[in-house]
């Protein structure tokens, strides 16, 4: 097919769309438009190996620069899509330019959730972490012996804490909830990670809000809701992300907690697809529509959209999975622990190798696997099969998970 495909966004998902289109021998023009100066790159290492200085920037790329040296591929970086005209099938770009499309893929991603207006929130030394430049700015402030305060005890906050403590900084994590990663893991898993971080010298201030920041041009302390003030040479804020769906909404596309797509990644306009963090999509596994902040989801949706753009009829129906690296602990999550009525731990937490199985009326919903890749791999198939587990023996980690189906 020789249709012109334009991809708005140049993140991980966008890079995968281009790669799959080339793999499937798409003959038409491909235009990739991105706001950043960088070709599509991986985001997960940003708060892990790249922040730690263990991965050079060039290894972040989804594909090397030479991959895009194809006469059918046009790359426009440092460029913003300002508007979509669905009737004329055009995009208005900044600076002044118009691009026409036959098919459009919205790979708009997400942006960091910012703090509400607080005293001192604009001081130098206060960082968010979403892209390469953010990490480079944080690295410039990360010096041994300095005081780092992290706002938010989700994946990003705790990964940054692990890297920073390993670099010799004094790290304090401030979290409004009563435990870390409360939105995504059971109390047993939160308790384990709290002990691990404290053992590494990280101070956790749980059930604590934020009042503001103080300093003369640069942050010097953080003021907490309990009246205390803690020293800070730098601050990293990790309080979640927000889908970039405003462009789609302004164009008249259906939007609900993201850009609404079907299981082929099509939006409410049949010539426009959407992939990645910005989408609200149906999940047969979960029996509802969800929005996922997941590399796996972004890549699989990108492959699905590209295949359908090439004339195939591919449906997206994957078990969600995620991961987080903190110290020498690899947390691998299969499924989504939404609506569980029991959480059973397999293995010994003190041995730093265990899993937590989430169930509803005996049916497996999700598994958090800490240094237990076998449980993680087996769980993905069991979740897809909607397997009912033997609750009486599930805690016995000497029995493989796949052998506990009833």
Q: Would you give the DSSP letter of residue 47?
A: G
What value does the mean pLDDT take over residues 34-56? 95
What band does 192 get if pLDDT is binned at 50, 70 and 90?
very high
242 burial (CB, 10 Å; 0-12 / 13-18 / 19+) is: middle
275 has pLDDT over 80: yes
- Mean pLDDT estimate for the chain: 96
**What pLDDT digit, counting tens, does each position of 130-156 carry?**
999 999 999 999 999 999 999 999 999
E-only strand ranges, 141-186: 147-151, 170-174
User: Rounded CA gap, 385 and 231, in Å?
Assistant: 51
Q: How far is CA 147 from the centre of its chain?
A: 27
CA neighbor of 233 nearest in space, from 139, 121, 148: 148
Enter the pTM of the model: 0.94
User: Rounded CA gap, 103 and 4, in Å?
Assistant: 6
User: Rounded CA gap, 76 and 71, in Å?
Assistant: 14
pLDDT score recorded for residue 308: 98
77 near 34, Cβ under 8 Å?
yes
Pairing state between β 5-8 and 103-106: parallel
Tokens at 156, concatenated: 């990003």
Q: How far apart are the first and last CA of the chain?
A: 48
What value does the mean pLDDT take over residues 234-248? 97
Tokens at 232, concatenated: 């800070």
Q: Would you give the DSSP letter of residue 39?
A: P
pLDDT score recorded for residue 299: 96
pLDDT score recorded for residue 402: 97
User: Rounded CA gap, 374 and 372, in Å?
Assistant: 6
pLDDT score recorded for residue 301: 98
User: Rounded CA gap, 389 and 34, in Å?
Assistant: 46
User: Rounded CA gap, 4 and 102, in Å?
Assistant: 5
Q: Would you give the DSSP letter of residue 116?
A: P
What band does 104 get if pLDDT is binned at 50, 70 and 90?
very high
* Residues facing 98 on adjacent strands: 92
**Tokens 């990293």 map to which residue?**
236
262 has pLDDT over 80: yes
Q: Would you give the DSSP letter of residue 216?
A: S
What value does the mean pLDDT take over residues 274-283? 96
| Angle 7-296-325 from CA coordinates, rounded to 5° | 125
What band does 329 get if pLDDT is binned at 50, 70 and 90?
very high
230 has pLDDT over 90: yes
Most confident of 116-120, 197-201, 285-289: 197-201
What band does 1 get if pLDDT is binned at 50, 70 and 90?
low
pLDDT score recorded for residue 95: 78
What sign results for the dihedral spanned by CA atoms 10, 12, 15, 16?
negative
User: Rounded CA gap, 94 and 97, in Å?
Assistant: 6
pLDDT score recorded for residue 116: 86
Q: Would you give the DSSP letter of residue 383?
A: H
What value does the mean pLDDT take over residues 79-84? 97
Helix-helix angle 155-166:187-199, to 10 degrees: 20
271 has pLDDT over 70: yes
258 has pLDDT over 70: yes
What band does 96 get if pLDDT is binned at 50, 70 and 90?
confident
Element counts in the chain: helices (H) and strands (E):
7, 26
Tokens at 144, concatenated: 């041994």
**What pLDDT digit, counting tens, does each position of 298-311 carry?**
999 999 999 999 99
14 has pLDDT over 80: yes
Q: In what order do the strands lie in the sheet with 221-224?
A: 210-214, 221-224, 229-231
Tokens at 222, concatenated: 């953080």
H or E segment to which residue 18 belongs: helix 12-23
Tokens at 331, concatenated: 């947390």
322 near 294, Cβ under 8 Å?
yes
336 has pLDDT over 90: yes
């Amino acid at each position: 097919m020789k249709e012109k495909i334009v991809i708005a966004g140049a993140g991980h998902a966008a890079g995968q769309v281009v790669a799959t289109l080339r793999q499937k021998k798409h003959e038409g023009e491909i235009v990739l438009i991105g706001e950043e100066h960088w070709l599509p790159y991986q985001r997960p290492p940003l708060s892990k190996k790249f922040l730690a200085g263990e991965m050079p920037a060039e290894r972040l790329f989804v594909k090397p620069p030479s991959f895009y040296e194809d006469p059918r591929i046009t790359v426009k970086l440092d460029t913003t899509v300002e508007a979509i005209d669905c009737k004329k099938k055009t995009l208005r770009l900044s600076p002044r330019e118009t691009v026409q499309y036959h098919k459009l893929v919205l790979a708009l991603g997400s942006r960091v959730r910012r703090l509400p207006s607080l005293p001192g929130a604009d001081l130098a030394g206060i960082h968010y972490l979403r892209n390469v430049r953010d990490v480079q700015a944080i690295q410039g402030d990360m010096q041994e012996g300095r005081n780092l305060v992290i706002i938010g005890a989700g994946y990003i906050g705790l990964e940054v804490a692990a890297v920073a403590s390993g670099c010799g900084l004094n790290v304090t994590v401030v979290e409004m909830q009563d435990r870390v990663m409360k939105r995504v893991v059971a109390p047993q898993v939160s308790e384990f990670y709290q002990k691990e971080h404290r053992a590494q010298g990280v101070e956790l201030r749980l059930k604590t809000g934020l009042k503001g920041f103080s300093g003369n041009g640069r942050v010097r302390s953080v003021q907490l809701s309990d009246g205390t003030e803690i020293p800070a040479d730098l601050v990293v804020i990790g309080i979640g992300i927000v889908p970039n769906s405003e462009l789609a909404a302004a164009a008249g596309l259906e939007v609900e907690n993201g850009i609404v797509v079907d299981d082929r990644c099509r939006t409410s306009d049949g010539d426009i697809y959407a992939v990645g963090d910005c989408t609200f999509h149906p999940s047969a596994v979960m029996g509802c529509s969800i929005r996922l902040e997941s590399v796996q989801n972004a890549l699989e949706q990108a492959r699905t959209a590209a295949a359908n753009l090439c004339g195939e009829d591919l449906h997206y129906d994957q078990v969600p999975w995620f991961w987080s690296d903190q110290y020498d602990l690899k947390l691998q999550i299969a499924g989504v622990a939404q609506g569980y009525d029991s959480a059973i731990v397999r293995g010994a937490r003190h041995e730093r190798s265990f899993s937590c199985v989430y169930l509803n009326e005996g049916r497996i919903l999700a598994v958090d696997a800490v240094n237990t890749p076998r449980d993680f791999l087996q769980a993905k198939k069991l979740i897809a099969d909607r397997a009912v587990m033997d609750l009486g023996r599930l805690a016995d980690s000497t029995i493989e998970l796949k052998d506990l189906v009833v």
